[in-house]
Amino acid sequence: MLIESFVASTRAVEKKPNATTTKDIGIYLHEYQPNPSLKSYFKKSSTQPNCIAANATHIFAAQADKSAVHVYNKDRNNHEAIVPFQEQITCLALAGQYEGAGTLVMGTQGGRLILWEPSPNDPSQPLPLTPSRTLADHRAAITSVIFGHSASKANLALSAAKDQTCIIWDYRKGVLLHTYLLGASPLCLALDPADRAAYAGCEDGSIRLLDFYKKQSLLHPLYDPNQQSTPTQPPASDHWHLPQASSSPVLCLQVSYDGTTLLSGHESGKVHQWNIAQGKFNVQITDFSLPVTNLLVLPPTGFPNPRTPSLKIHHVVKPRYESSLDSSRGNGSSSIIPSNYTFTAQFTSTLPLPDAPTGASDLEDALTHASFPISMLENGINELAALNNPSPHASHSEHNTLKVANEGLKTQLDTALCRQREAITKVLKLEEEKFRRQEDDAVKKARKKRRRIRMMEAEERARKIVMGVTVENRAEGEGDTGTVVDGEDGLSSDTDEMSSE
């Protein structure tokens, strides 16, 4: 059974006299399908929006009031480390987690990007420190930026701002694809898993659906030049509201793994679930009583054959700040990674020997590569050709053997068909004889009944004559002796034996 869970983080606020929040809890690991329930929690954390990330083993949370990132171990359910920085971290994201522990990308208050590998295994060259493109079409502060799921050059980027607009970009070319007028200030964005629609959470507590395929077009609606220059306002049916009148702002959004439900975290501390197909509020999952600033939907668990990474990271490796980081920016040095930057990990399975068989077939090995080997393709084509065109070099004895086998099979088939026809004919004859017997019995019963009735009528007529009662003339077919002639077959009833009487 598949289990879907999410990670939620909150921002600490001044405690009210009647507050019922659990002390110091700032991160929650909550299951919401199939049985909504709190699985675990972590203390000593307070985060702003876009300041939490998670991989298979750890959760990283940039603190709202400190220049530090807290690291929590999901397997051990504890607070593992506090990583200090010289500047406050205002946002973070985890990249490349599908190939390992990933690289944590952190944005600072001073405008810098810090890349941290919690489990470095192949340090890369430093990234350029200047932006490649600048996209400037919003007229107010930007509140959220998200990217599409595609790995192609046609991937999308979406940005929302307090000017009540949401813009879709082709960020590789720096082209504005479409603008949506929302009618409310969006605070967060979420994208459909298939990149067919986006969802915007607004200050008034509502959610706007941005359907990219709403308009009819021969081209992709986002790349149709006739539609790019005209802003679109979502219809009223795409405005989703909570049932209650007073709604708190939506601070974060996340779409489920299968794209059927939407989770929203609100400033009131509530987490709501929305039905995407019906376009309406479904149920309140939980209430943390503190502003929910971040939601992360984790990959579902419970698959029959899950793919496990070859390495398991038990402890993260803290980054070390060195003066060379600043000096390298001025003199062009590339010594960004310290020379003794190491980590400790555990292999999750036995490492295969260089020449040892992997246990998988050649086809299974080929399926894991970008393309099939040329030799495998050639062998497959040759096998198909041999099936369609038998080899002319086959021996004469093989052809004779096949011919004899085919003739034997044909003889067996003809014998079976003949026996089947004989059995069917026999069954039909038996059914016909049974039907005839039933018809004869029915005719005999009818004749006996008619004869009995006529004899009773004759006796009644004779009794009346004796009593001197005038009777009608005899019907045709009646003799002087009181016999009754069967009108259907001309047989006298006296000649038939009435053994049943």
Which residue, 494, 49, 96, 58, is CA-closest to 291?
Answer: 49
For residue 480, the 8-state DSSP code is T
Per-residue CA distances from 93 to 10, 30, 127, 134 (Å): 17, 20, 16, 20
Helices (H), 248-361: 324-331
**pLDDT tens track for 21-55:** 556 788 998 888 888 888 888 988 889 888 888 88
Residue 180, sorted as left (phi over 0), alpha (psi -120 to 50) or beta, turns out to be beta
Residue 297, SS3 per DSSP:
strand
Name the maximum alpha-carbon separation found in the chain. Answer: 152
- Please check whether residue 118 is in contact with residue 58, taking contact to mean a CB–CB distance below 8 angstroms: yes
Does 34 sit behind a cis peptide bond, omega within 30 degrees of 0 on the bond before it?
yes
Torsion angle of C-alpha atoms 133, 137, 139, 141, degrees rounded to 10: -40
Residue 261 confidence (pLDDT): 93
43-52, 362-371, 439-448: lowest mean pLDDT where? 362-371
Tell me, rounded to whole angstroms, the distance of Cα 468 from its chain centroid.
101
- Tokens (6 digits) for 423: 């059995």
The type of residue at 107 is: G
Give the chain's mean pLDDT.
78
**pLDDT tens track for 368-413:** 666 778 888 888 888 887 776 665 555 566 777 878 888 888 888 8
**pLDDT tens track for 193-222:** 988 999 999 998 999 999 988 877 667 778
- Residue, of 499 and 10, whose pLDDT is higher: 10
Residue 87 confidence (pLDDT): 81
Give the Cα separation of 41 and 72 in Å (integer): 10
Mean pLDDT of 82-95: 82
Give the Cα separation of 167 and 180 in Å (integer): 6
Residues facing residue 262 across a β-bridge:
255, 274
Residue 122 confidence (pLDDT): 41
Residues facing residue 82 across a β-bridge:
70
| Its pTM surpasses 0.75 | no
